[in-house]
Amino acid sequence: MVSDDKCALRRALRARRRQLSLDVVRAAGTAVRVQVRLLLVAHPAAALLAYLATENEIPTDGIIADCVQARREMYLPSTTPVPRFVCWQPGDRLQPGPGGVLEPHGGLPLPGQRCAIALIPLVGWADDGTRLGRGAGFYDRVFATGSSGILRLGLAYEFQRCDYLPRDPWDVPMDYIITEQRIVRCGAGEVLRSESLQKGGLRLC
């Protein structure tokens, strides 16, 4: 059962995010794109698991464009017939999913044990990697099994950081949090600099 405190925090953080101006959202998206680009160049993975931003989430359109140009495999969340990631490219057909979020119409599922980087939207986050999402549980179910080769990157704003978030047994933690200001190695409280990325400071597979 989800606690009332967790639900109240989710509502408050979503409300604050909805109030962000377009300029603030675009600036944050540009800053996060630069951080992700450094990471992808330093450690090219076979595939990128992305999302299409909604409700002023950190934009991913620029990151997706970078990966298309680099001819990297691209996957998006799909809830039909079961929660999973399916292959997608810009221009492919999309359809409304739960909550009105657009998702691919069909598409081949992500092969098991594929080395990949996953970009995951956050409502709230803590330094230990605990993620507060929308509450539907999509990412927890998808990453519960068969995700050992997937590096989980939570994309968020600095204001969404919480000193503490309760973690339920089914919650899958993030490996890193990327905000408009920094990259945080979850659990270690370490802020990664561009120099460490360029030297290969992360291991994906």
Give dist(CA 137, CA 133) in Å, integer.
8
Q: Give, for all 205 residues of the chain, the pLDDT tens digit.
A: 456 788 899 999 999 999 999 999 999 999 999 999 888 877 667 789 999 999 999 999 999 999 888 888 999 999 888 889 999 999 899 988 887 888 998 889 988 777 889 999 999 999 999 999 888 889 988 888 766 788 899 999 999 999 999 888 888 899 999 999 999 989 755 565 555 555 555 554 4
124 phi/psi in degrees, rounded to 5: -150, 160
- Residue (of 148, 152, 204, 198) closest to 35 by Cα position: 198
Report pLDDT for 204: 47
Measure the CA angle with vertex 140, ends 42 and 4; round to 5°. Answer: 125
- The fold adopted by the segment(s) 4-198 is Rossmann fold (3.40.50)
Domain boundaries, the chain: 4-198
Q: What residues contact residue 14 under an 8 Å CB cut-off, 6+ apart?
A: 55, 123, 134
As to burial, measured by CB atoms within 10 angstroms (0-12 exposed, 13-18 middle, 19+ buried), residue 81 is: exposed
